[in-house]
Amino acid sequence: QKEVEQNSGPLSVPEGAIASLNCTYSDRGSQSFFWYRQYSGKSPELIMSIYSNGDKEDGRFTAQLNKASQYVSLLIRDSQPSDSATYLCTWNNAGNMLTFGGGTRLMVKP
Amino acid sequence: EAQVTQNPRYLITVTGKKLTVTCSQNMNHEYMSWYRQDPGLGLRQIYYSMNVEVTDKGDVPEGYKVSRKEKRNFPLILESPSPNQTSLYFCASSLRGRGPYEQYFGPGTRLTVT
């Protein structure tokens, strides 16, 4: 069964630290991966996409993809209280549907 | 302003009373989709549409209907709502070239069926 698994958390980090969020997937055919951020009571918003092995950096965010090990991660440097949210990992299934992980709740404490 | 809108934002209804949740986008996106979000179950796709008059089932289509008569609109229809359809619903859209992945989400509709 094709799945995306995430630790639901909460993951608690102090302000200024690096937050590391991980996601594993079961389908070796997966090609593209995406991280969405969802604040409480709000809709998800896309923050990172990654299509090939390695790292992709965008500001304080770095997405890492390791297809051999079937995991994708999101690093948030210099974490801020405004980063406190649920982070959803998602991937393509080589079709037209999107499968989401359950999300990891991040709490950044001042 | 580029956006996806949903109406209503909140709805309380009774079992069996037909309802429609509207979704509209002003970005000329081909792909549109409906999701429901439940605690512990995450976001699950209900239906999606690749373009006008083209719709297909997602992971949890039972009890729902959709139509795509115009590019900008993608209403979600519950013909006979039941309490297990109480949920938070999101509509989303994306450019065809971006597939279903880089989606813009609407603000959500919180539905309660009693």
The band of A44, judged by pLDDT with boundaries at 50, 70 and 90, is very high
Per-residue pLDDT averaged across A14-31, rounded? 86
Per-residue pLDDT averaged across B27-45, rounded? 91
pLDDT at B19: 97
pLDDT tens string B9-22 = 999 999 999 999 99
Considering only the beta carbons, identify the residue of B42, B99, B100 that sits closest to A101.
Answer: B42
The band of A26, judged by pLDDT with boundaries at 50, 70 and 90, is confident
Q: Is the pLDDT of residue A92 over 80?
A: no
Tell me which residue of B15, B20, B6, B93 sits closest to B50, measured CA to CA.
B93
**d(C-alpha B97, C-alpha A45), whole Å:** 18
pLDDT tens string B2-12 = 899 999 999 99
Average per-residue pLDDT for chain A: 88
Considering only the beta carbons, identify the residue of B43, B56, B107 that sits closest to A96.
Answer: B56
**Are residues A26 and A1 in contact, defined by beta-carbon separation less than 8 angstroms?**
yes
Q: Mutation target for A interface from B29, B44, B103: give the one with most A CBs within 10 A.
A: B103
pLDDT at A56: 94
Tell me which residue of B3, B49, B53 sits closest to A97, measured CA to CA.
B49
**Are residues B4 and B109 in contact, defined by beta-carbon separation less than 8 angstroms?**
no
**Are residues B64 and B77 in contact, defined by beta-carbon separation less than 8 angstroms?**
yes
pLDDT tens string B69-87 = 999 999 999 999 999 999 9
Q: DSSP string spanning B30-85?
A: SEEEEEEEETTTEEEEEEEEEETTEEEE-S--TT-EE--SSSSB--EEESS--GGG
Query: Does the beta-carbon distance from A92 to B100 stay under 8 Å?
Result: yes
pLDDT at B2: 81
Considering only the beta carbons, identify the residue of A43, A92, A96 that sits closest to B105.
Answer: A43
B35 to chain A: closest CA residue = A98
Max distance between CA atoms of chain B, in angstroms, equals: 41
pLDDT at A93: 65
**Are residues B33 and B93 in contact, defined by beta-carbon separation less than 8 angstroms?**
yes
Single-letter code of the amino acid located at B74: F
Number of H helices, E strands in chain A: 0, 11
pLDDT tens string B40-57 = 788 999 999 988 999 999
Q: Is the pLDDT of residue A35 over 60?
A: yes
In chain B, residues with a C-beta closer than 8 Å to the C-beta of A99 are 45, 59
In chain B, residues with a C-beta closer than 8 Å to the C-beta of A103 are 42
Considering only the beta carbons, identify the residue of B43, B104, B108 that sits closest to A100.
Answer: B43
**Are residues A94 and A29 in contact, defined by beta-carbon separation less than 8 angstroms?**
yes
Q: Is the pLDDT of residue A18 over 70?
A: yes
Interface check B101 vs A, CB under 8 A: yes
